[in-house]
Amino acid sequence: MNKYILTLFLVTSVFISCNNEDDSFDPNAKRLPPVITAPINFADPNLNQQGVDLYNRLTNLTQKGIAFGQQQPFGTGNNFPVLNKLENDFFEVAGDHPAIAGFDLELIGLQPDIQSNTAFLLDEFINQFTAAIIKAHENGSIITISWHHVNPNGFGTPNDGSFNDVVKGFLKGGEFREVYIKRLARAARLLNKLVDANGNSIPVLFRPWHEMNGDFFFWGEGFRTTEEYIQLWRDTVQILSEDFNVHNLLYVYSPNFVANRSEYLRNYPGDEFVDILGIDIYDFQNRKFLSTALRNLEIVENISIEKNMLFALTETGLTNVVDNTWWTESLYKAIRASSISYVMIWRNDMTSFFHAPFLGHPSENNFKEFLDKEVILLSKDIL
């Protein structure tokens, strides 16, 4: 009898623990995004008309649904590094381009300086990079760009000391200040070349210094002070806009998932330096994704309402999509009632690292079912 009771207790405990994720999900919750008005001043006081139009466009799209996107949606794929150009995994499965197309400026930090004898190599890189962005723009995708800065202190790890005080070194008077300024100059050269066929500037959702509350980037917690991070963000906005005349950027602040409101706002550089709020939440296969996502999106939504700002799930995904129903049973449940403007999954590189299913993947049909949800918007839905 005791064994039976123990067995029943264990089975019941397992059953309950396996369903904890759904305990936080309300199937009756309705998506009722508040009406957000454009700010009197953007982070860049001289934001161009295309940037203003993008903000207003996102405001209107938020009332319609959630723009869905992917990082590097073409040029890579499950057969990377053999480039498959526009015949990418996302388009092959979805039959449409993502509403949001993500890019990253990491490699700009490894290019020659503008004044160097090999500056032509920088221009070659910029031409290739901008061509991909312009094509994504022509496909109907909204462009977002992050920046995984290369550590000027070497290719070390968080534990070997090479991350310490790099941010301090980027600030005025610091040992890496010149490196930082030259990187911004290269980035500005690239960003100012983002022009469409009609000569109009292509606006960008720019997401620098993201996931700053983690301990895996040199700008993360433990390697700099909060004040240093805030100054770095403000310097980035001011130098790009004032010194290098980059006026096509909406600045997106996006921590990694947080425990509470205070953690989210700990490194916040101020309303006058941020245009859109974001958060990055991945599924780490610990059965906590849904509850974590619901809680975090609620935290950010409350802040966004107070600040009259748009907000987004700026990065998410389940690496290699090992759950064949993840799209409808995890991601959709997490976002269906949220007022986020957009959500973006991470990239596909190869068969051992991807975040969207390729043709023949077991989650392909579930992915299509997710994309067919009325609230999920692809490029054709946002024209």
| CATH number of the structural domain spanning residue 148 | 3.20.20.80
The confidence score (pLDDT) of residue 161 equals 93
Confidence of residue 45 (pLDDT cuts 50, 70, 90): very high
Domain assignment present for residue 317? The answer is: yes
Mean pLDDT of the chain: 92
Q: How far apart are CA 341 and CA 314, in angstroms?
A: 10
For residue 16, what are the contacts with CB-CB under 8 A and spacing of at least 6? none
| Choice among 21, 228, 301, 315 that is catalytic | 315
Q: How far apart are CA 82 and CA 207, in angstroms?
A: 28
Q: Is 211 a catalytic residue?
A: yes
The confidence score (pLDDT) of residue 89 equals 85
Question: Could you tell me if 50 and 317 are in contact, meaning their C-beta atoms sit under 8 angstroms apart?
Answer: no
Q: How far apart are CA 318 and CA 316, in angstroms?
A: 7
The confidence score (pLDDT) of residue 75 equals 57
Question: Could you tell me if 316 and 331 are in contact, meaning their C-beta atoms sit under 8 angstroms apart?
Answer: yes
Is the predicted pLDDT of residue 1 greater than 50, yes or no?
no
The confidence score (pLDDT) of residue 8 equals 39
Is the predicted pLDDT of residue 345 greater than 90, yes or no?
yes
Cα-flanking dihedrals φ and ψ of residue 362, to 5°? -60, -25
The confidence score (pLDDT) of residue 312 equals 99
Give per-residue pLDDT as tens, 55-102.
999 999 999 999 999 999 865 554 444 454 435 789 999 999 999 999
Cα-flanking dihedrals φ and ψ of residue 127, to 5°? -60, -40
Is the predicted pLDDT of residue 20 greater than 60, yes or no?
no
Q: How many distinct structural domains can be found in the chain?
A: 1
Hey, is 375 helix, strand or coil?
coil
Is the predicted pLDDT of residue 15 greater than 90, yes or no?
no
Cα-flanking dihedrals φ and ψ of residue 343, to 5°? -140, 140
| Choice among 21, 211, 221, 364 that is catalytic | 211
The confidence score (pLDDT) of residue 225 equals 99
Question: Could you tell me if 288 and 330 are in contact, meaning their C-beta atoms sit under 8 angstroms apart?
Answer: no
Q: Is 315 a catalytic residue?
A: yes
Q: How far apart are CA 198 and CA 202, in angstroms?
A: 10
Q: How large is the average pLDDT for residues 313-330? A: 98
Which domain, by its residues, includes 149?
40-381
Question: 118-135 burial string, b = 16+ CB within 10 Å, else e?
Answer: eeeebeebbeebbebbbb
pTM over 0.85: yes
Is the predicted pLDDT of residue 357 greater than 50, yes or no?
yes
* Other beta carbons less than 10 A from residue 22's beta carbon: 13
Give per-residue pLDDT as tens, 287-310.
999 999 999 999 999 999 999 999
Q: How large is the average pLDDT for residues 116-145? A: 96
Is the predicted pLDDT of residue 9 greater than 50, yes or no?
no
Hey, is 361 helix, strand or coil?
coil
The confidence score (pLDDT) of residue 86 equals 36
The confidence score (pLDDT) of residue 351 equals 78
- CA 258-339-328 angle, to 5 degrees, is 85
Give per-residue pLDDT as tens, 206-224.
999 999 999 999 999 999 9
The confidence score (pLDDT) of residue 17 equals 41
Q: How far apart are CA 345 and CA 71, in angstroms?
A: 6
Domain assignment present for residue 16? The answer is: no
Give per-residue pLDDT as tens, 142-197.
999 999 999 999 999 999 999 999 999 999 999 999 999 999 999 999 999 999 99
Residue entry with tokens 């950010």:
300
Terminal Cα distance for the chain, rounded: 66
The confidence score (pLDDT) of residue 254 equals 99
State what percent of residues in the chain have pLDDT above 90.
Answer: 84
Domain assignment present for residue 91? The answer is: yes
DSSP state of 280: E
Rg over alpha carbons for the chain, rounded to the nearest Å, is 21
Domain assignment present for residue 22? The answer is: no
Confidence of residue 350 (pLDDT cuts 50, 70, 90): confident
The confidence score (pLDDT) of residue 40 equals 86
Domain assignment present for residue 362? The answer is: yes
